[in-house]
Structure 1
Amino acid sequence: MNFDKDKTKITGLAYNYQFTGYKQITIELERINNVRCIEGTKNFVQSGLKTYMKVPKVNNYFTDEINEKHILDYYADCIENSEDLAFVSTYLIEEFDLDKLLLSETMKLQKEEVDGILKMLNVNQDKVNEKYKLAFNVLSISNFDKEIIPLVYLSIYLDVFKQEISIDIKETVFHQKNISKLLKTPDIDPEIYRDNLEQLREDILSIQSNAPIFEENPLIFKLKVDLSLSPRKDFEKIKNIIYSNQELTPVLKAFFGQYQKPALSNNKNIYFIDNKVNADQIMAIHSVINNDLTYVQGPPGTGKSATIVNMVISSILNNETILITSYTNSAVDNIFEKMKRLKYKDFLIPFPMIRLGSFDYAKKGLDYIKRAYKYYISIKNSINIQELNKEYERKIGEEVRKILKINNIIQVNKKRNDVEIKINYYDKLMQVFSTHKKFKKNIPKLQKYQSAQKGQLTKLGKKNIDNILDELSIDYEVILLGIFIKSVKSFMLLDEIKYSYLNEIIFSKNLDEARKKLLNEYYLEENLNQLQKIFPVFLTTNISTRVFPFNGPTFDLLIMDEAGQCENAHSIVAMSKAKRAAFIGDPNQLLPVVTLSETTNNNLTYQYSIPDVYNYKKTSILQTLNQIDFMNDLILLRKHYRCRKSIVNFANKKYYNETLEIENDKVSSDDCKFINVKSEFYNKKKNTSLLEAVAIIEELKKIPSNQSIGIISPFRNQTLLIQNKINELSINKNVKVGTVHKFQGQEKDVILLSLAIGKDSYKGSYDWIKDNKQLINVATTRAKEQLIVVGDKLSIDNLSNGEEADIKDLIIYTSKFTASTFNEKSVGKKYGNLSSKYLYTNFEDLFFDTLQRLININKKGFRINGQTDVKQVLKIHADHPLFEYATKASFDFLVLDNKNNVKLAIELCGVEHKYDQKVINRDKMKNQIAKENGIEIIY
């Protein structure tokens, strides 16, 4: 290592045993925290380095410098640029030629047009800047309040002095949040529509019951930003701590790569409420209670939720306050519901927790407290809390002694793990030293050190926690008694005079008023502690933790569930509220849904010089922490309880490097099945397959009625098609249909996965799912007893162009168990002539485009809707003789005015409308309904 001339940096060769070879590096001296020599090498420290041995700050080795303030500003900008909900104001440029602008990238404006834009921006003439960044409408919709909601727009720049606008075609923004909301598919990648906006229109029309009005006029607009969701205020407080050289909490230190483990670790007692815990879960619980940071990877079916419950139990019995958060309300509610079901003998445990959030979730929380308090009132005369307390104190000592034995085994196993790491380290170091003459002489010393470590390993011995649990025979009823007593005592406080005002708020009949009073009065720093004495456990989403005060951490422990799905910005806000934190999730499952555009994110990362590890759009909080915090290991929950071995083995090999230990070792040839759908016709709606839907209906008939069933598709259109078929055929089974997000954290006896990739699918649709490990992993691991994959193998092979893909591997894997083929002949005439319904799709598309152009030219104020259900647009009473038919029938095309009144219906008819009597009869019924509503149908 050598100093530079200013003695501010050192350069030299660095070696990391996890990678091969050496790397020339430069390290700034101010970033060095400690200097020592590797055991077995020449022991000296250059004098120039001694000065820097106690610098308090440490950053990651060999990474870009971390600027905490830049990262916080970057995240605040990301959130503020993600929340553009609508166009605040617009300006219409007459006779605008977009093609010309796209071609030349600049266009001159008239002075009155520039003045009109400035007026729209509400800019005073004496405060005019030279340039303004605006947006140009490509596709948007108008809602009922006449507010324009953007779907696709271009970033443009107005140069006031040159009186021109310029455009960057690469800055075409697809508004993911609005598109996902309209398509009712939270994980949709809107980029699949980049080359086909007409398909986006069609998909929106097929899902929205009230047909929206599309706006394609040449509008220039500015965006509205909802700053109430911005974490900037909390970030400013964190920055103030950094500016004033105060110490950050261990949790925030870890995020910025500055965390160092304390010399002495805690050894507090852990508790669990049944004998279903395993060694990995116990390690996770112990770490959460005794360490500043804990990272737990919980693959599907490994008991993640049960582990979180035991973490909460352990923390409560150690007299701590806990904040439980996640990205979604459903994840928070999952923990909330599990805590509500705790029991001691025949008594429910009125667990002392409060659920926070928006009005509906706060209402849910207040309702729970009311019910729990009423239950406490109903049992308080039948229990003697003093006697129960004496019983607990008498019995808990013996259980604690048993738990201490487990704690000791954990400590020994941790030491074993450290020693094993050193032994492995010496192996790798000797392997590298053997190839360099300069270092070969050090190998005998390394062998000596390694031998000593192996001796230490033998002395430590090895004990299996799972075996010890059976030997100890812990009385779990005693632990539940402790929780019961603590819970009852918490609700007893509400009877005290000093809590009478809080009691009055909680039991107010006006829930909105109660929520506001809690927010405005009890989430203040001076009152929050009082609330925590009664309710030590708070549950809410990351974004809602903004309500808590920020003058130091307000909770002892943060437990963030589904941390692999939590975006970084609002996660930091939650992290700032706690002294310690546990992050539980799985990077191989669903990732954060981030609505920030790719272009904006790229600009912001460049502006703030953000390292990839902090990229808002590409990482979750669990991924960032795992890459930036080298001081704390990731604990993997390995035992899988949910699926049969043959079902979960695909994910185990593909995504978990075969680390899962599968407890359900039942294997049958029916566990997995692939149904190859061979369709000879095109589907009317993209990302749908009628034949796959029919194949699934046929499979449903074979499944016993006592089994729970889940039907998953990557595409919302396909889930709607399947659900409609189930409703039409009145299939009365325990079936749930949806995209994969609907099934996160859930399980079913049987899962049917409809791939919905056919001969007419876009390459972008295939690319989105082909290696989508989060989607495939979650979908396949929901199945406990049987996984059935339904898809068009030929179409998938054609779209793949011979390249490998996870979705192709899944087809190969499931085919090895059971494989079958399904086509139109498989069902005969049972569902009618399937292909005849789709023979005219290309003509229908051409007809729609032609009609749309004619109306745009000649009839302003009218619009065309594609296939629309009769019941959506025409009134028909339930006692009408044709009511049942009307609930199933649809029009091919409708012409509507700007008030959504139907002016004309158009039907495109195949030969079956002339010769098939059933079709002719249905046409007569449709004519009758239309006539009664004053609508003309043209055939």
Structure 2
Amino acid sequence: MSVNRDIYRAVHERKWLSVEYLNGQGRTTRYWVGVKDIDPRQRTLRVRGMHLGSYTVKDLTIRVDGIESSSLIDESYFPTPPELIERIDRDEDRFSSIFGTVPNLNVLNYLADCSRLNVAPATKEFSLIKRVDEDSFARGALCLDKEQFAAVVKRAQDRARYPHKGFRAKFEQLALNVLSVRGAGGLYVIAYRQLRLDPERRTLVIGHNTILCREFVVRNGKAFERQSIRRYLGEEDLHLLSSFDENRERIKDLMAKRISAPRLVDDVPYLLIITRDATVDLQREYDGIYAMYERGEPTVPIKAFFGDLTKRPVRRREFPLILLDQHINMDQLTATHQALKYPVTYVQGPPGTGKTTTIVNILVNALYNERTVLFASFNNHPVDGVFKSLESYSWNGKVLPLPVIRLGNNAVMIQALERMRTLYELVKDESVTPDRMMELSRIDGKLRAKDLSDLLKEYEENLDLQERKECIEKLAKDADDFFFKLELQSVQLELVRKRLKRVEPAEKTLERALKLMDRDQESLLRQLFCLSVRRIKRLGEPRVDELREIVFSTQADDERVTAFNHYLSDTDNLKKFLRIFPIVATTCISAHKLGQPVPSFDMVVIDEASQCDSACALVPIVRGQNLTLVGDPAQLSPVVVIDGTDNATLRRTYNIPDEYDFIENSAYKTFLACDSVSNEILLHEHYRCDEKIIGFNNRKYYNGKLSVKSGRNSPGALSYYNVEGDVSREKNVAPAEAAAIVDYVRKNCDKQIGIITPFARQREYLLSSLSAQGFDDVPCGTVHAFQGDEKDVILFSLALTDRTTPATYAWVANNQELINVATSRARDELVIFSSDRELDRLHGSMKGPDDLCELVRYVKQNGKSLVTPRSVSSRALGIKPYSTKTEAAFLESLNHALSNVFTSQVRHVVHHEVPIAQVFDENVAQQQLFYSGRFDFVVYEVEPDGTEVPVLAIELDGKEHRANEAVMRRDEQKNEICRRHKLQLIRVENSYARRYAFIKSILEKFFSIRR
């Protein structure tokens, strides 16, 4: 499949492909080929081929199956015929024998390309070509002489044949400098234009777009320093970058004013190489996903990612649940149950709602139920937090040796080996023969698991009943047919209402659930101890001799790590490892070390999934059968450095819909947007902040759904300090405000205080001021430094001065991440420092919402002011994943179609998943036009002789039906075919699939009665 995927990328990215090809004489030859046409039936390519010995170029016809290996020439350019790209996009089914599922291929190629560009670049000299100026590219290309051409081809071919060493992959681009900052230590390339080699014309073609580098790795002697563009351009001027070409001279002048010798602004157009180091080769990782689809066995989480779930999978296995922490609420219990039972679960964890406790419960219960788990997060902090919680349990005066291993970089791997050795030494002499009481306890737990599962299912179905009730009411309101309306209102609606009356409060359900759970701490800890000992003692078995030798090796640490990484990279070895250590905790990127990209784990749990991009999240996700994503879209998003121009180009190249936009989405947001059927659970009980502090966040970002259980209610929870007369020589620095904060710290040094500010310069000034007064232990930073942290008191320094521009204020004023995270770190007191005069001035420049001004007003009025809710898309917060327009259009089409069906006054039957060939049996070829080759739901009219005639069909549409023009044109053809066959066709957007499932069951019930 990798060859086929390379061909697809070469066509769409307009690049040459390096191939090793087995010709008709049985000899392997090497070519660069540019694809001109594809014949999917014959599985052949018409190409322009360049022989790598003579550099001659000619037309060739080659077999796809004759290509033994391939590699994309990233730095090349080939003028792919636009009609070929259009044919592939238009006739996906026709090309599926070569490319597989094209929309999925598009998304994965896009994510892989975005990920390798989402790395701070560096530069190195390109010495093959000297003396270049702008006139050299007068016609958009630079001609190469014979020696230059040969050197450039050799370099590109070497990179194609040896793309990476070990786990690290280096991505390089030839570039033309547009604007840089040159210093004594190195070069920061602010802007460049990409150069691509056209082998046929022997030229370097200059790209149309200017690429920006908001971060760059600069060599400083032997060391490397990661720098931000903010060092050379003020916050208030960053907006100029969005129109760089128009503002180029102004940006250059502004930067020149900010820097001093020996640095200088450099706009000389010389050639250089832009390099990016990637930790993992995502194309290799995504091979596992392609392989799943080739076998016809994609896991449910992968299907959810691509929007292929139309109904929630049914899982009948019941899992007994245990409680090591007696303080649990219904949301946490439901999340634990669903994570174990269902293939996909989403958990939204607002600040202070016990997210870590929930994850620990999931992992402990997975261990108890003999499930293997890969626990991951994008950052180390949440992984370490959960791992330390699991390490903290003890029993009978000794450590509870839970078989949980933390993996990661080389230093973490050494710690893992030491932990494995320590655990084995600790338990190797333990005798763990289960006694009768333990066995009875486990048997009893399994017997009660069914009752517990039924109880939780009943509780979970409450939301389904509410949604079903809404569906019936909407259908009945618009129904034209009397009997249909009567059936809905008098039968189906009444039945749902009766069931809703039986639903008991959450507190009552929790009380009943706890009675069905094993809460005997002594017994549970003993069971977990025995289970852990049995697992860890397996390290002494002959089947894991290789692993045991690595664990107890006396070799140097780097050699042990190399051997350990090599061991875990083998899937069979990984399975042996998981028999001993069934729970593995690591970062998303480091998960690539764990075997091949195949589902080796029963479960994958990802924390802070709203801070992780989809490209990296798929690395652990592909390795599990089930998935639980835990996150909060209202808090921090992924840190993105890819240039917007690059992203826009890639989106156009691959026809990427909004749901997969790399810059705008996290893994959590993408999954929720693409999967409308799986449940999202809101952890709505808040335990951290004073009620007045979290009250603002609750109303602004959480639709008022949070229930405050912290027990904190201080009259001084909210404070505001007006600091006037702050005159600053530097932008985004408020000296008088900093002095007031230092004074506050001095007067309240007995309290646990944290300081948050939006600006890096104010942070540096505050740290210096605090240090001068001996307060080095007071943490101060931007919100990213405080994610997951909490303090008794949070001082929020807005740092608004007479030098703050409206553009800078606009960035702060509606920064949801900044405001939500900053305020929710405070347990007892939130204190805001700012200037009324500057706030009034800057608020007056705002033409739209101003969340920051609302927060200040809220604090000044002690939590009694009006808070305007922010629009959010979250099922957990009661916000539907589809628009009212989508629902209205569907219901109107459905009502019209049903009216036509009911006029016949004959019996009807319903069938599901009907192949197109059965509907259009006289023209089977037309089924290629239809998504997945089948209708989801078909209503048949039954004639007197028993013949079933299709009269109404419903088809589920994927995301590409709104983003891909070729697909939309194909939809028009489908509509015309259905009209000719007198078949009413209704399309359902994937975002409406959950609601549609209810409507479908309502219709099925009605038509079954009419039989």
One-letter identity of the residue aligned with 1:249? T
Deviations 1:32-79 (A, max 9, x none): xxxxxxxxxxxxxxxxxxxxxxxxx9xxxxxxx971111111111112
Alignment correspondent of 2:377: 326
CA shift for structure 1 position 313: 0.8
Q: How does 1:227-238 map to 2 (within 5 A)?
A: 229-238=280-289
CA distance in 1, matches of 2:441, 2:400: 19
Alignment correspondent of 1:447: 489
Contact 2:692 2:863 in 1 (8 A): no
Alignment correspondent of 1:635: 681
CA distance in 2, matches of 1:135, 1:692: 44
Specify whether residues 193 and 790 from structure 1 end up closer, same or farther in structure 2 by C-alpha distance, changes over 3 A only: farther
Alignment correspondent of 1:777: 820
Alignment correspondent of 2:307: 257
Matched residue count: 725
Contact 1:278 1:466 in 2 (8 A): yes
Specify whether residues 193 and 479 from structure 1 end up closer, same or farther in structure 2 by C-alpha distance, changes over 3 A only: farther
CA distance in 1, matches of 2:779, 2:256: 27
Contact 1:193 1:200 in 2 (8 A): no
CA shift for structure 1 position 397: 4.6
One-letter identity of the residue aligned with 1:666? R
CA shift for structure 1 position 108: 6.3
Find out whether 1:558 has 2:604 as its counterpart: yes
Alignment correspondent of 2:771: 727
CA distance in 2, matches of 1:716, 1:794: 23
Alignment correspondent of 1:135: 176
Contact 1:250 1:580 in 2 (8 A): yes
Of the three residues 150, 154, 157, the one matched with 2:189 is: 150
Deviations 1:208-260 (A, max 9, x none): xx997876543332322435533001223422443x35221111111111124
Deviations 1:661-696 (A, max 9, x none): 100243333101122222352332x22211221111
CA shift for structure 1 position 271: 2.2
Of the three residues 412, 416, 425, the one matched with 2:471 is: 425
One-letter identity of the residue aligned with 1:523? S
Of the three residues 675, 688, 695, the one matched with 2:740 is: 695
CA distance in 2, matches of 1:612, 1:125: 34
One-letter identity of the residue aligned with 2:857? I
Alignment correspondent of 2:214: 175
Contact 1:565 1:590 in 2 (8 A): yes
Contact 2:728 2:735 in 1 (8 A): no
One-letter identity of the residue aligned with 1:562? E
CA distance in 2, matches of 1:776, 1:545: 32
Secondary structure of the residue aligned to 1:421 is helix
CA distance in 1, matches of 2:689, 2:151: 59
Contact 1:542 1:573 in 2 (8 A): yes
Specify whether residues 604 and 480 from structure 1 end up closer, same or farther in structure 2 by C-alpha distance, changes over 3 A only: same
Secondary structure of the residue aligned to 1:386 is coil
Contact 1:640 1:662 in 2 (8 A): yes
Alignment correspondent of 2:852: 807
Find out whether 1:223 has 2:274 as its counterpart: yes
**Structure 1 residues not aligned, in runs of 5+:** 1-56, 58-64, 820-939
One-letter identity of the residue aligned with 1:628? C
Contact 1:66 1:256 in 2 (8 A): no
Identity of aligned residues (%): 26
* Higher mean C-alpha displacement, 111-120 vs 766-775: 111-120
Specify whether residues 390 and 182 from structure 1 end up closer, same or farther in structure 2 by C-alpha distance, changes over 3 A only: farther
Q: How does 1:702-741 map to 2 (within 5 A)?
A: 702-705=747-750, 707-731=751-775, 734-741=777-784
Q: How does 1:103-502 map to 2 (within 5 A)?
A: 107=138, 121=152, 134-141=175-182, 148-155=187-194, 168=208, 171-176=210-215, 178=217, 181-183=226-228, 191-192=238-239, 194=241, 196=251, 217-226=268-277, 229-242=280-293, 244-259=294-309, 260-376=311-427, 380=429, 384-386=431-433, 389-398=435-444, 405-433=451-479, 438=480, 442-448=484-490, 449-458=492-501, 464-468=508-512, 474-502=519-547
CA distance in 1, matches of 2:705, 2:846: 30
One-letter identity of the residue aligned with 2:531? K
One-letter identity of the residue aligned with 2:858? Y
Alignment correspondent of 2:109: 73
Of the three residues 629, 635, 638, the one matched with 1:592 is: 638
Secondary structure of the residue aligned to 2:852 is helix
Find out whether 1:671 has 2:717 as its counterpart: yes
Alignment correspondent of 1:749: 792
One-letter identity of the residue aligned with 1:253? K
CA distance in 1, matches of 2:836, 2:230: 25
Deviations 1:636-682 (A, max 9, x none): 00000010101111110000011001002433331011222223523
CA distance in 2, matches of 1:332, 1:459: 41
CA distance in 2, matches of 1:204, 1:442: 75
Alignment correspondent of 1:508: 553
CA distance in 1, matches of 2:296, 2:596: 14
CA shift for structure 1 position 759: 1.8
Secondary structure of the residue aligned to 1:648 is helix
Contact 1:302 1:642 in 2 (8 A): yes
CA distance in 2, matches of 1:429, 1:254: 28
Deviations 1:685-724 (A, max 9, x none): x22211221111011123251x321111122221111111
One-letter identity of the residue aligned with 2:433? Q
CA shift for structure 1 position 133: 7.1
Secondary structure of the residue aligned to 1:582 is strand
Specify whether residues 70 and 85 from structure 1 end up closer, same or farther in structure 2 by C-alpha distance, changes over 3 A only: same
CA shift for structure 1 position 611: 0.8
CA distance in 2, matches of 1:412, 1:165: 64
CA distance in 2, matches of 1:386, 1:123: 66
Secondary structure of the residue aligned to 1:552 is coil
CA shift for structure 1 position 114: 8.2
Contact 1:273 1:477 in 2 (8 A): no
Specify whether residues 635 and 752 from structure 1 end up closer, same or farther in structure 2 by C-alpha distance, changes over 3 A only: same
One-letter identity of the residue aligned with 2:470? N
Alignment correspondent of 1:767: 810
Specify whether residues 680 and 711 from structure 1 end up closer, same or farther in structure 2 by C-alpha distance, changes over 3 A only: closer
One-letter identity of the residue aligned with 1:784? R
CA shift for structure 1 position 401: 5.6
Alignment correspondent of 1:82: 118
CA distance in 2, matches of 1:630, 1:813: 36
CA distance in 1, matches of 2:665, 2:812: 19
CA shift for structure 1 position 760: 1.1
Specify whether residues 159 and 385 from structure 1 end up closer, same or farther in structure 2 by C-alpha distance, changes over 3 A only: closer
CA shift for structure 1 position 164: 9.6
Contact 1:137 1:154 in 2 (8 A): yes
Specify whether residues 632 and 358 from structure 1 end up closer, same or farther in structure 2 by C-alpha distance, changes over 3 A only: same
CA shift for structure 1 position 445: 2.3
Specify whether residues 711 and 113 from structure 1 end up closer, same or farther in structure 2 by C-alpha distance, changes over 3 A only: farther
